[in-house]
Structure 1
Amino acid sequence: MFDILMYLFENYIHSDMEVVVDHDELTDELTRAGFHRQEILKALAWLERLAELQDSQTKPYLNRSPNSAIRIYTAEEAARLDCDSRGFLMYLENLGVLDFATREMVIDRVMELDTPQFTLDDLKWVVLMVLFNVPGREDAYDQMEGLLFEEPEGLLH
């Protein structure tokens, strides 16, 4: 599923090509590209849920903005997001790339990925996809895009 998301992001969103709106056409194209139909449907549902996260009724906690709260990860989140990944999220918050709401959106989307292995590089792409889909976060998207192609020096936290 993550490979499909990457394919869509690189071939449509990131390349500024016109996005195919029709799900059937998109599914057919992805099938021709070698992806399995069930994985395609999961990836499209993942993208739809990403769009739904911007609706305050879907996740009302995203409207809150705690000033000095510390994020405590559940056991499932800590299993998916290793220490380096959690440190990178904190690093992005300290830089101002992520705020409370976008961090929670990233964690939500990571937890919905159907992948046995999840790496720091995968996390960077999820962050980029989330920021691309959040209106008003263009500067954060540009900053994250720069971070995606360069490794930060020193400690992340």
Structure 2
Amino acid sequence: MFEVLVFVYENYWRGDACPAPEQLGRKLSAQGFDADEIREALHWLDGLSHATQGIQLVRHADETTATVGIRSRSDEVIPQSPHSIRVYSNAEQEHIGAECLGFISFLESSGVLPTGMREIVIERAMATSGEPLTIDELKIIVLMVHWSTGVEPDALVLDELCDDASERVAH
């Protein structure tokens, strides 16, 4: 499934540029992807689309920072309290794994993954098969959440998410 998601990300730079599921399925099939992988990826992308519908990017007055919030019923964006913490359930800890949860924490503390997007990343990670999730699979999920919301990550963050750390050479 993750190979299909990478193909979609690379060929449709923004979520709104992606064709309808039926047409996308035909294109993926023409590219030689397995029918089961296509079906699983389309189901996962549908869940991503539903999860990101209530997301709104809010720019602060200084234009240097942005937050992502979830719209409430009153159409107000509800930010997370700066004093709150995220407690992961046992199922989340087992499925996502310690390395990936550490990476999520790193992205969140770096300001790359606002709380609203973090919750979507966790929800979409839990919607995958296989345990525990690998760091490369998590990076694809983070990229796809950014892709779906239209929030472009910083160039250095994008490099970190797309780079294969195993090929790095220490200086």
Common fold: TM-score over 0.5: yes
8 A Cα contact 1:2 1:115, kept in partner: no
Aligned amino acid, residue 83 of structure 1 = A
TM-score by length of 2: 0.70
List gaps (5 residues or longer) in structure 1. Answer: 152-157
8 A Cα contact 1:56 1:63, kept in partner: no
Aligned-residue offset at 1:99:
1.1
8 A Cα contact 1:131 1:141, kept in partner: no
Pick the structure with more helix per residue.
1
Aligned-residue offset at 1:128:
1.2
Matched, 1:33 2:15: no
Aligned-residue offset at 1:2:
1.9
8 A Cα contact 2:5 2:41, kept in partner: yes
Aligned amino acid, residue 34 of structure 2 = H
Moved more, 112-121 or 75-84: 112-121
Equivalent residues in 2 for 1:1-157 (5 A)?
A: 1-13=1-13, 19=17, 21-56=19-54, 63-116=78-131, 118-135=133-150, 137-138=151-152, 140-148=153-161, 149=163, 151=165
Q: Please give the root-mean-square deviation of Cα atoms over the aligned residues, in Å.
A: 2.8
Q: Distance in 1 between matches of 2:38 and 2:164?
A: 30
8 A Cα contact 1:20 1:26, kept in partner: yes
- Kindly, what percent of the aligned residue pairs are identical? 30
- 1:63-106 Cα offsets, whole Å, 9 max, x none, are 45132222111111111222111111111111100111011010
Larger radius of gyration: 2
List gaps (5 residues or longer) in structure 2. Answer: 56-69, 166-171
8 A Cα contact 1:50 1:130, kept in partner: yes
Number of matched residues?
Answer: 145
Aligned position for 2:169: none
Return closer, same or farther for 1:114/1:63 CA change in 2, 3 Å cut-off: farther
